[in-house]
């Protein structure tokens, strides 16, 4: 588990504050009360996604289908 700290005051006293439009976890700092988002979604989901992309590609799914099914960015599919 990665330690997340506030980019403004470096406090680790954070609370989850919902999600942004692109499903990125938002956080709010209990110390300075600012909210921010860190893009950890990609890293958290990286394991296994590669295998699924390979599998779907073998099933002749297009990049567009794969990105929709796995709910990941099309560029991520392309790079894999
Ligand atoms: Zn802070």
pLDDT at 44: 47
Look at the pTM and tell me if it is higher than 0.75: no
Strands (E), the chain: 14-19, 25-29, 35-37
Can you tell me which residue has the tokens 């009360």? 33
Report CA(40)–ligand 1 centroid distance (Å): 18
- Name the percent of the chain lying above pLDDT 90: 24
Q: What is the pLDDT of residues 33-63, one digit of tens each?
A: 999 987 655 544 566 778 888 888 888 888 8
**Separation of 37 CA from ligand 1 center, angstroms?**
12
Distance 25 CA to ligand 1 centre (A): 16
Cα(24) to centroid(ligand 1), Å: 18
Rounded to the nearest angstrom, the distance between the alpha carbon of 71 and the centre of ligand 1 is 31
């Amino acid at each position: 588990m990665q330690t997340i700290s506030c980019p403004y005051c470096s406090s680790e006293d954070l609370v989850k504050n919902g999600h942004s439009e692109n499903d990125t976890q938002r956080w709010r700092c209990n110390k300075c009360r600012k909210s921010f988002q860190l893009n950890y979604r990609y890293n958290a989901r990286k394991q296994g996604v590669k295998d699924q992309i390979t599998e779907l590609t073998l099933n002749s799914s297009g990049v567009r289908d794969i990105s929709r099914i796995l709910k990941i960015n099309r560029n991520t599919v392309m790079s894999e």
